[in-house]
Amino acid sequence: MVGAGHLGRGVDADDRRWSLVTSGRVGLDALGRAATLSETCERVKPRLLDWLQCPWCGGSFSLEPFPGSDPADIDEGLLRCSCGRVFPIVRGIPRILADAFALHGDFVARHRDRLPASMPQPDSAEPHADAIRSTRESFGYQWTRFSEMVVDFRENFLQYISPVDERFFPGKLGLDLGCGFGRHIYNAARFGAEMVGVDISEAIESTRVNTQGMPNVHLVQADVYHLPFRPGVFDFAYSIGVLHHLPEPETAFQRVVSLVRPGGSVFIWVYSNSRRFLNFALESVRAVTTRSPTPVQQFLSFVGAAIDWSVFIAPYRLASRVPALGALARRVGPARLKVYAEYPFQVVYADWFDRLAAPIRFYYDERAMRGWLERAHLDRTTISPTGLFGWRAYGERS
Ligand SMILES: C[S@@+](CC[C@H](N)C(=O)[O-])C[C@H]1O[C@@H](n2cnc3c(N)ncnc32)[C@H](O)[C@@H]1O
Ligand SMILES: [Zn+2]
């Protein structure tokens, strides 16, 4: 087991420190503290541009802020590449997707006269274009509907990233691939890392709200198969609950690994295939639900969550709090119940929506995980289960 004491490099990059983190002011109380933004933001956005490159040609971007945007904290503008591609910055987030303008019609309407006459179009030969689009739409809906940080998810994050713990983060530059509504990037930033969150879907808007006022969080809307970062720029990268939803999960994993510097760390969490019967039953149901309209998916998810809650989670929760019974319940209870017992119904409902609506789900055994780590040439690897429902995999770049 790799211990957190020797994971990756320690804090060695003075230029990666920033006053708020070292003075311990970033945290729960940073949320919504608009007053601190003006004094801190100017060091954030230009740094993000240093790490970016055009995913299609590898070139640097030139920045064109729109009038009204603070040049040091750009709210709206364009990123231009010498290959001719142009990408919008909308609500302070670079949108580096082939169809970025089509997705942000409001931006196009407001700035039509500043935009190129012909907009870049998605490549029709793009492999898996339909799967990527339907996954984006499903999660865009999910994480804007279930966007609230109902709890701070600290323990949840620590559970997914073991053997890494909070001592790993201070002073490092990290990537959260598929940041969803921002629960994990929020904690990674709170633990002291400077973080870049990437998500392909509208979920990124929820991360923006949930990390508002945190000067050490940067966001980019992008696709894992066209990541807009310089190779080796990050000290670490993680992806929690994302890769198994992609059309080519291992390829996506390799893309993420390539962004981490030699000696840097990569950690992921994916679904396990240990619950063969349950997974088979779920996939049979999903054959119908993934093809159903969103309101039907929402209704069925609510029903699934309500049954799960009343038959399993609530009784476990009750039993675990009864003095005589509690220790036994905690010892024999399945890992998933221990997790859900800590959260409100909303989290269970969101996970049921994920289960029934996400277009793609892959399940893995330990051998498959081992193969991923080996083929990515990672050192100091560990693989550990989270109950029967998932695998954590960790490695360092050689
Ligand atoms: C199950 S959610 C997990 C969110 C977050 N990691 C968490 O654990 O709360 C999967 C996320 O991956 C994002 N995603 C899906 N396909 C992607 C792609 N091709 N590139 C980047 N992000 C993607 C989705 O938009 C969604 O927010
Ligand atoms: Zn380019």
- Give the C-alpha separation, 79 to 63, whole Å: 5
Q: Tell me the CA–centroid distance for residue 204 and ligand 2, in Å.
A: 23
Q: Tell me the CA–centroid distance for residue 351 and ligand 1, in Å.
A: 13
pLDDT tens sequence across 328-360: 888 888 888 988 999 999 999 999 999 999 999
Q: Is 36 among the domain residues?
A: no
Which of 139, 270, 354 has most ligand 1 atoms within 8 Å of CB, for mutation?
139
Q: Is 318 among the domain residues?
A: yes
pLDDT tens sequence across 259-306: 999 999 999 999 999 999 999 999 999 999 999 999 999 999 999 999
pTM greater than 0.85 (yes/no): yes
- Alpha carbon nearest to ligand 1 atom 11, residue: 178
Which CATH number do you get for residue 206?
3.40.50.150
Residues 149 and 22 in one domain: yes
Kindly state the tokens that stand for 157.
């994050």
Pocket of ligand 1 contains residue 201 by CB under 6 Å: yes
Work out the pLDDT band at 33, boundaries 50, 70, 90. Answer: very low
Which of 177, 223, 242 has most ligand 1 atoms within 8 Å of CB, for mutation?
242
Which of 183, 199, 348, 356 has most ligand 1 atoms within 8 Å of CB, for mutation?
199
- Give the C-alpha separation, 177 to 246, whole Å: 12
Q: Is 35 among the domain residues?
A: no
Looking at residue 25, what is its pLDDT? 31
Which of 150, 200, 220, 240 has most ligand 1 atoms within 8 Å of CB, for mutation?
200
Residues 308 and 201 in one domain: no
Pocket of ligand 1 contains residue 223 by CB under 6 Å: yes
More confidently predicted of 237 and 338: 237
- Does the pLDDT at position 5 exceed 70? no
Q: Mean pLDDT over residues 93-112, rounded?
A: 93
Could you list the residue range(s) of the whole structural domain that residue 341 is in? 291-357
In our burial notation (b when 16+ CB lie closer than 10 A, e otherwise), range 33-72 reads eeeebeebbeebbeebbebbbbbbeeebbebebbeebeee
Q: Is 33 among the domain residues?
A: no
Residues 12 and 65 in one domain: no
Looking at residue 94, what is its pLDDT? 96
- Give the C-alpha separation, 201 to 178, whole Å: 9
Pocket of ligand 1 contains residue 268 by CB under 6 Å: no
Q: Is 285 among the domain residues?
A: no
In 3D space, the residue among 98, 90, 103, 88 whose CA is nearest the CA of residue 120 turns out to be 98
Q: Mean pLDDT over residues 205-226, rounded?
A: 95
Output phi, psi for 202, to 5 deg.
Answer: -65, -15
DSSP labels for 227-268? --B-TT-EEEEEEES-GGGSSSHHHHHHHHHTTEEEEEEEEE
Looking at residue 45, what is its pLDDT? 63
Residues 116 and 61 in one domain: yes
Sheet holding 234-240, edge to edge: 61-65, 77-81, 86-90, 93-96, 217-222, 194-199, 173-177, 234-240, 260-271, 390-397, 378-386
- Give the C-alpha separation, 233 to 192, whole Å: 18
Which amino acid type is present at position 348? Answer: V
Tell which atom from ligand 1 comes closest to the C-alpha of 153. Answer: 9
Residues 240 and 373 in one domain: yes
Q: Mean pLDDT over residues 216-236, rounded?
A: 97
Q: Is 166 among the domain residues?
A: yes
Q: Is 137 among the domain residues?
A: no
- Does the pLDDT at position 177 exceed 50? yes
Residues 63 and 18 in one domain: no
Q: Which of 127, 161, 196 is the last residue of a domain?
A: 127
Pocket of ligand 1 contains residue 175 by CB under 6 Å: no
Residues 91 and 216 in one domain: no
Residues 310 and 250 in one domain: no
Residues 107 and 210 in one domain: no
Spatial contact of 81 and 54, defined as CB atoms under 8 Å apart: yes
Which residue do the tokens 């006459």 mark? 117
From the CA of 84, the nearest ligand is 2
- The domain tally of the chain equals 3
**Mean pLDDT score of the chain, rounded to an integer?**
87
Q: Is 346 among the domain residues?
A: yes
Pocket of ligand 1 contains residue 139 by CB under 6 Å: yes
Residues 231 and 156 in one domain: yes
Kindly state the tokens that stand for 290.
């993934």
From the CA of 226, the nearest ligand is 1
Residues 122 and 226 in one domain: no
Looking at residue 98, what is its pLDDT? 93
Residues 265 and 321 in one domain: no
Looking at residue 66, what is its pLDDT? 85
Work out the pLDDT band at 100, boundaries 50, 70, 90. Answer: very high
